[in-house]
Amino acid sequence: MRPTHRPLFLLKSFARFVPAVTRSGMVSAEGGPRAALALAPNLARYWFTTAREVEQGAAAVPDRIALIDDTGVLTYRQLRDDSRRLAQWLLTVKDERGLDELRIGVMARNGRGIILPLAAKGYAGAHIFLLNIGSSTEQLAGIFAENDIDVLFVDDEFADRVPATPGLTVVRAHENGGAGLSIREVVGRRDVDRQLPRWPKHGNLVLMSSGTTGIPKGIVRPEPRLPFVVAGYLQAIPWRAGDTVQLTASIFHTWGWSALQVALATRSTIVTQRIFDAEACFTQIEKYRCDGLISSPIFFKQMLDIDESYDTSSLRYLASAGNAVTPSLLRRTTERFGPILANVYGSTELALAAAASPEQMQADPTTVGTVPPGTVLKLYDDHGREVGVGETGRIFLHNETALRSYTNPDTEMVEIDGLIEMGDLGYFDADGHLHVQSRSDDMIIVGGENVHPQSVVEVLEDMPGVGEVYAHGVDDADTFKRIAVWVVRSADITAEGVREWVGSHLADHSVPRDVHFVDALPRNAVGKVVPRFLPGLGQKN
């Protein structure tokens, strides 16, 4: 890692971060004196929270469109007013129950159903839990029991999963004919006259893990005081004030939540849809002349499979996170959209770890970029010793939005020198760029040789007839471990053809023992493959 002058970096990034910067990069009087006067008090009261960005956006550009979602359109003024009214209602609930603190849960797709509670959390000084929309009834029961949630905002289609829980008030985040109180009804009320705290407490932001088994882990994160992480995104993504961005990345996940913060901080117009549809996404980009598309590899792949011609000439950048960007995906996005794909690497626990600009991605498709100022990232071997340039090590880091703890104190958190383990393996090249090879528990040893399943995926993505592919280690009687792959075919190919293709590109120990052809890869709500649902995992054909 090369040292960066943090104050200078912040000043340069802040020039693009504040709403006074126009598309041309010149300083303007946008918002006027009133917005300038509101800047310092809003920072002091709300830090860099969703409430702060909504409040400052209303002061600076009240009539600019903040959100276009499935329900309609909200300006920055309307978004602030609705968020305040929701916060006032939440405080009346707190008062009526005599609660010392308020704990809010949200189980909603992208749109005002999750954005309004996030902003109201900051105004009211509550704790907020962003629940994975794939959570089952049993998992929700465990979450409620473990975290004492008082109010749950939930989309109608998930309401039947919510277990009967004493003391839990349920509010519909998105309505589709269900019964009960809705956000629309709450923010439409004018009879709630509860004063908002001038100096609200800054409760925890808790993101839940995917929770493929058992109760999902609750990751307790602090609200940022300084915009180091946001500025890190802006260092890699050419995001300007007043942009229009299509936000596909799920807001209940770290990447989507982070992108929401950047979008509001730059006073952008956010265009989103609750359920991803590739053609609808293209239509929104064309209709609203979007400057950026904030998404994940699985959704980019679906868009690239659309044959129809759409006008995407307005796009200046694509931003991806959540899964690895393979060389094949980078090549395809470049052919379709131009050399504008930036990549962000992070995790639910630790947010931003590194970011690669479009220029860095084009120069080296295997990099995840540079570590931003405000983040300390080091690589250690299995004995806790820091490794050198070019050597593979376990990735550890810390920054201002790194998890404080887990909601369950029994959940293990691995630390070295105050840095927290991400669970990935990687190395730094001579230029200080980080390369991620695999999950720490994914790497296998075959006949004494290290094999990273991701390397097999990257090779097979270029094979004609392979639509999607996933690789994983499986037990083997002779070598202890071998690679297995699961392939969704786009043309007629054979298992032997798959093995021959890998063998012609990688060493023999990377050739898959098992080749499973499946109709689809089982994915969770954010597009990640869920291995336990793969047929034959751990079994030999």
Q: What is the DSSP string of 242-307?
A: T-EEEE-S-TTSHHHHHHHHHHHHTTPEEE--SS--HHHHHHHHHHHT-SEEEE-HHHHHHHHT--
Reported confidence tier of residue 233, pLDDT bands at 50, 70, 90? confident
C-alpha span between 248 and 293 (Å, rounded): 8
Distance CA 198, CA 376 (A): 34
Query: 251-276 pLDDT, tens per residue?
Result: 998 899 989 999 999 999 999 999 99
CATH fold label, 76-216: Rossmann fold (3.40.50)
Is the pLDDT assigned to residue 360 strictly greater than 60?
Answer: yes
Q: How confident is the model at residue 8 (pLDDT cuts 50, 70, 90)?
A: very low
Q: What is the mean pLDDT of the chain?
A: 86
Angle between helices 254-265 and 228-236 (to 10 degrees): 90
In terms of average pLDDT, the best of 73-77, 215-219, 525-529, 531-535 is 73-77
Kindly report the CA angle at 525 between 311 and 118, in degrees rounded to 5?
Answer: 85
Quick one: average pLDDT of 175-185? 85
Which two structure tokens, joined as six digits, stand for 23?
Answer: 């598309």
pLDDT for 372: 87
- The CA-atom distances, in angstroms, between 319 and each of 148, 241, 255 are 36, 16, 10
Residue 474 predicted with pLDDT over 80: yes
Torsion sign (Cα): 109, 111, 112, 117 = positive
- Give the span between the Cα atoms of 509 and 519, in whole angstroms: 27
> Which residue(s) pair with 419 in the sheet?
416
The predicted pLDDT at position 473 comes to: 87
Listed by start position, the domains of the chain span 76-216, 444-533
Q: How far apart are CA 91 and CA 423, in angstroms?
A: 39
* Cα 375 to the center of its chain, rounded Å: 18
502 phi and psi angles, rounded to 5 deg: -65, -40
Q: How confident is the model at residue 35 (pLDDT cuts 50, 70, 90)?
A: low
User: What residues form DSSP beta bridges with 318?
Assistant: 293, 341
**Per-residue pLDDT at 19:** 43
CA dist 286 and 309 (Å) reads 11
Please give the CATH topology (third level) of the domain spanning 444-533.
GMP Synthetase; Chain A, domain 3 (3.30.300)
Residue 228 has pLDDT above 70, yes or no: no
